[in-house]
Amino acid sequence: MSKNKDRVSINVLASHGATVAEATYASPCTGPVSASGEAKREPGDEYDRETGRLLATARALEVLARKLRRRANGRIRNAEAIKVHRQRVAGLDSAERMTLSDPEVRRAAAKATRYLTSYMKGKLEKSRSS
């Protein structure tokens, strides 16, 4: 069984009624992704160090989770765009009939198709002129 090398570290700094936490996710595949959260004592509040640590840490982890989710969703969209492009290049009719519910996926697929088509045309022109 392989060892899991993904790591999450949290550093917390508290000073003068304010607490800041930094959460970092590190993976051999993605590299580090960091996010921070803070908690501040409002005027009139009694200072509670542990409550500040908990709030700042929770907020940092929430931001980190959003960043990781966006990154994962981007990879999913990219994979779907590549799949659609490959079907179109192969000339499969199913690619034309495929319905994609996410407009971002449709835009990404169209952009990938335009880019690769122009790239291949440029390669073809270069090979003809050589």
Specify the number of domains making up the chain. 1
Q: Does a structural domain hold residue 79?
A: yes
Q: What is the pLDDT of residues 21-68, one digit of tens each?
A: 999 999 887 789 999 999 998 888 888 889 999 999 999 999 999 999
Q: Is 19 exposed, middle or buried (0-12, 13-18, 19+ CB in 10 A)?
A: buried
pLDDT number for residue 14: 92
Question: Smallest Cα–Cα separation from 14: which of 46, 42, 47, 43?
Answer: 47
Q: Does a structural domain hold residue 13?
A: yes
Q: Does a structural domain hold residue 99?
A: yes
Q: Is 108 exposed, middle or buried (0-12, 13-18, 19+ CB in 10 A)?
A: buried
Residue 59 makes CB contacts below 8 A (sequence gap 6+) with 21, 37, 38, 39
Q: Does a structural domain hold residue 81?
A: yes
Q: Does a structural domain hold residue 1?
A: no
Distances (CA, A) of 125 to 91, 114, 128, 130: 22, 16, 5, 9
Work out the pLDDT band at 3, boundaries 50, 70, 90.
low
Burial state string for 38-60 with b = 16 or more CB within 10 A and e = fewer than 16: ebebeeeeeeeeeebbebbbebb
Task: Count the neighbouring beta carbons within 10 Å of the beta carbon of residue 23.
Answer: 25
Structure tokens at 81: 């765009």
Q: Does a structural domain hold residue 90?
A: yes
Domain that holds residue 23: 7-129
Q: In this structure, what CATH number is given to the domain that contains residue 32?
A: 3.30.160.240
Q: Does a structural domain hold residue 43?
A: yes
Q: Does a structural domain hold residue 2?
A: no
Asked if the model's pLDDT at residue 9 lies above 50, the reply is: yes
Q: What is the pLDDT of residues 76-116, one digit of tens each?
A: 888 778 777 777 777 655 544 455 556 666 777 777 777 77
- Residue 25's SS3 state is strand
